[in-house]
Structure 1
């Protein structure tokens, strides 16, 4: 007769439950994997599959009851860890979208916006296009596999336990989020400089030839020059984006160590 006590039952349940919570929280916030266009059932199924693969390789988890205060604390802790690591990688794509917003504003395309189901808000068309290019580059360079490998590594560096996490990991995320404006401006800077020079030239021209309508001439010129520059610059953003992805994965490691 095989007998199973409560401690063994909790051990088997927790060996799957707590890794699943961290993985599901990461997949809900990470880029590519957490897109709104992916069905929720597919996300949950992938999270269950990864948890089943990862759980046997982890150390024995604490034997607290999942319904106890300690068990709920561990669930909340694993959820926060997954969300934190997912948001760190989400910043990488926020950089590209911010650059698209800056460029669209200078080109005069800021009014051309539509509802983006990924962000749940109105997004400039150019920002959406650059985000799609970034997604294709991310998949082409196997960024999704590197991201998952770095995340699974977190179970070794930050094992599941009832010990509280350090708030220094949140400080790492806040510091990394500054790259949204810094790197976004650097990515858009070549086009912004050229388009700003055109705006200054048209302003001087308007002062010398006041009968010339800048609003009638300036918009087509800025739009045409901006499209030509995008045709030249977009194929060259791959090295910049690759370095940004590497920095995001390294930031995940720093956040794990800080936690």
Structure 2
């Protein structure tokens, strides 16, 4: 289960990174330069994190404990695995901060350009689209920051006494953090992550519905203004 959870985290994080690259690529008007830069940084971060995760799993210590007659698995680490895990999360944090900064910068640039160019309807449509993009990105980043802070707090030797393992830790703060972390991590990956796509789909659906409603109203108004000639006998 421990290996499966870590593998799932790596896969989901990679998928979210691909979604983020696609969003930024679209926001930067399909710039090949920004795509190359993002793919290069993303691959470098994920390869480094993948290697460190593999090393951490290799040096993980799973011990069988008996607490109140119940068999449980206790997780511990040996060597400098704590440092590798900390570096892992730091690299992911750097990637998320970079993605957020690029999103905010291009959004601000578009808002400034829209103030000078385009009709009021065009400004409203494009401005609303970028607001949806930034809102969903900021919510996702806030969730990632919470998870990252919890993970780094657990890895901190000052906050936890995780030797020989997590379940055998004598720190109450560590036990609370270990219990809360899966909840925040699940919300960040499986709720806020899909919102990066669903928010755009919802906005597109509203635009289509609004456009259909305006077309229907125009058709009704046009029909009201049509005069049908009739003969005098009618």
TM-score higher than 0.5 here?
no
**Relative contact order: is structure 1 or structure 2 higher (C-alpha 8 Å, sep ≥ 6)?**
1
Work out which of the two has the higher radius of gyration on C-alpha atoms and give 1 or 2.
2
Question: TM-score, normalising length from structure 1?
Answer: 0.29
